[in-house]
């Protein structure tokens, strides 16, 4: 494994003490579950630059690295393809549902990796492969993955081995990032049906910090072992709200605090190995009631300052979520970067990407302080890509 992101030891211990969580112990993987054979992936990444390559990059290339743009899982979106070829974006996201299997997904991935210019940082290819109702890729070569709630019934060692097998299936298809696991604590089993984004879909690993940290940590560890970068979501916690940010506005959490168990889950898992963290787009009345977490320096600051996380921070979809529709696409992008987000997810509606890209580039070229944030984000992204196998 590569070196994990840097953390402040004092801050980490303080959060763990307040949250009542302890770092999960190491795992001893058991035999890997039998998986459906899958063809070897043929997409070949371009040579990976070191973070020192940042100095040689244009501002446009740095801005491009900060975007992950969606494409339908059953076809090639022309806007996304052009963004890979011309803007050198950091990643693509496979959106929707597919039963086509590994070979078809590998062919789709090749359409994007095949236009990555020589010398450009490797392309992240991501999807949502959590399990249960949230499994984008199925069909020959992909196991049916149980829901997080069902996964939690496995012991940690077995779950880690299962996740490694699922990750191997993703890598066979050319996918190298998974936007999972879910690290949200749902209030209780009784509340789950009233929590549309997580509990209603059985996406939670449990109802207390220790359980969620252990199971989400095992899933993340398995992903890494299988060659896939995991993404912990939805910081600082989405298990207590009664609306879904994708389909509702004004979604507000009134439970999560900066020193509570929801943030403590991340304090427990993040030191275990490389991972990206995804910001929620809900509002958090006890942390920053004024703006969604994705646009809040205070919420991002919990991750950077209290937990000492210096890895890549991404954000829930900014392209089509009702929660952020009050802001223009360009404003969504620039506000997220101003708050400290590194990687902008534009997954459901790629058509808004050009407006977002132009807004970020124009701001970076005219505002030195904003340009410094772009540099910092691009540096973290390059470092994370260079650390991957």
Give the contacts of 141 (CB within 8 A, at least 6 positions apart): 36, 37, 38, 39, 101, 102, 103, 169, 172, 173
Residue 32 included in any domain: no
CATH code: domain of residue 324: 3.20.20.300
Residue 31 included in any domain: no
Are the beta carbons of 312 and 339 closer than 8 angstroms? no
Residue by residue, DSSP assigns 295-315 as: G-HHHHHIIIIIS---S-EEE
Angle at 75 between CA 72 and CA 79, to 5 degrees: 70
Residue 33 included in any domain: no
| The token pair that represents 352 in the structure block | 């808004």
pLDDT category of residue 226 using cuts at 50, 70 and 90: very high
**pLDDT, tens digit, 9 for 90 and up, residues 270-327:** 999 999 999 999 999 999 999 999 999 999 999 999 999 999 999 999 999 999 999 9
Residue 201 included in any domain: yes
Residue 42 included in any domain: no
Residue 31 in this model has a pLDDT that exceeds 80:
no
Angle at 252 between CA 247 and CA 258, to 5 degrees: 130
Q: Stretch 35-44: mean pLDDT, rounded?
A: 35
Residue 7 in this model has a pLDDT that exceeds 60:
no
Residue 71 in this model has a pLDDT that exceeds 60:
yes
Sign of CA dihedral 128, 131, 137, 142: positive
Residue 51 in this model has a pLDDT that exceeds 60:
no
For 121, the domain range is 9-22+51-387
Residue by residue, DSSP assigns 225-269 as: HTT-EEEEEEET--SS-SS-TTT-SS-EESS--TTSHHHHHHHHH
Burial of 368 (0-12, 13-18, 19+ CB in 10 A): exposed
**pLDDT, tens digit, 9 for 90 and up, residues 96-128:** 999 999 999 999 999 999 999 999 999 999 999
Residue whose C-alpha is closest to residue 295's, from 261, 328, 255:
328
**pLDDT, tens digit, 9 for 90 and up, residues 81-93:** 999 999 999 999 9
Mean pLDDT estimate for the chain: 90
Q: Stretch 13-34: mean pLDDT, rounded?
A: 35
Residue 218 included in any domain: yes
Q: How many CB atoms sit inside 10 A of residue 360's CB?
A: 25
**Looking at residue 336, what is its pLDDT?**
98
**Looking at residue 293, what is its pLDDT?**
98
Residue 375 in this model has a pLDDT that exceeds 80:
yes
| The token pair that represents 101 in the structure block | 């299997």
Please state the domain count of the chain. Answer: 1
**Looking at residue 389, what is its pLDDT?**
87
Residue whose C-alpha is closest to residue 274's, from 83, 3, 15:
3
Residue 310 included in any domain: yes
**Looking at residue 141, what is its pLDDT?**
98
Residue 80 included in any domain: yes
**CA 225 – CA 294 distance, rounded (Å):** 29
Are the beta carbons of 255 and 209 closer than 8 angstroms? no
Residue 197: strand, helix, or coil? coil
Counting Cα atoms < 13 Å in the Cβ hemisphere of 365 gives 11
């Amino acid at each position: 494994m590569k070196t994990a992101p840097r953390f402040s030891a004092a801050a980490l211990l303080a959060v763990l003490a307040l949250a009542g969580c302890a770092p999960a112990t190491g795992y001893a993987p058991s035999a890997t579950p039998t998986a459906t054979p899958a063809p070897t992936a043929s997409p070949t990444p371009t040579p990976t630059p070191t973070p020192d390559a940042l100095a040689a990059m244009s501002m446009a290339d740095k801005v491009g690295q900060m975007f992950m743009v969606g494409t339908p899982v059953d076809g090639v979106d022309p806007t996304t393809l052009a963004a890979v070829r011309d803007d050198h974006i950091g990643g693509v996201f496979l959106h929707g549902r597919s039963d086509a299997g590994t070979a078809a997904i590998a062919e789709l991935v090749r359409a994007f990796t095949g236009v990555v210019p020589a010398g450009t940082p490797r392309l992240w290819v991501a999807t949502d492969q959590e399990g249960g109702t949230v499994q984008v890729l199925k069909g020959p070569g992909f196991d049916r993955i149980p829901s997080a709630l069902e996964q939690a019934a496995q012991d940690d060692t077995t779950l880690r081995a299962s996740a490694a097998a699922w990750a191997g299936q993703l890598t066979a298809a050319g996918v190298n990032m998974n936007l999972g696991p879910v690290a949200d604590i749902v209030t209780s089993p009784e509340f789950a049906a009233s929590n549309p984004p997580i509990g209603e879909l059985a996406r939670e690993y449990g109802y207390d910090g220790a359980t969620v940290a252990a199971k989400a940590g095992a899933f993340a560890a398995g992903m890494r072992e299988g060659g896939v970068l995991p993404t912990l979501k939805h910081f600082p916690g989405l298990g207590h709200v009664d609306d879904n940010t994708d389909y509702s506005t004004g979604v507000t959490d009134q439970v999560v605090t900066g020193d509570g168990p929801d943030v403590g889950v991340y304090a427990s898992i993040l030191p275990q190995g490389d991972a990206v963290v995804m910001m929620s787009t809900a509002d958090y009345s006890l942390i920053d009631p004024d703006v969604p977490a994705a646009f809040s320096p205070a919420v991002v600051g919990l991750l950077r300052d209290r937990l000492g996380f210096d890895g890549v921070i991404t954000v829930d979809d900014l392209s089509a979520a009702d929660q952020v529709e009050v802001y223009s696409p360009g404003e969504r992008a620039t506000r997220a970067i101003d708050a400290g987000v590194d990687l902008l997810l534009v997954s459901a509606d790629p058509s808004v990407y050009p407006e977002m890209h132009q807004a970020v580039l124009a701001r970076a070229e005219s505002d030195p302080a904003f340009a410094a944030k772009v540099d910092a984000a691009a540096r973290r992204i390059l470092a994370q890509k260079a650390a991957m196998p």
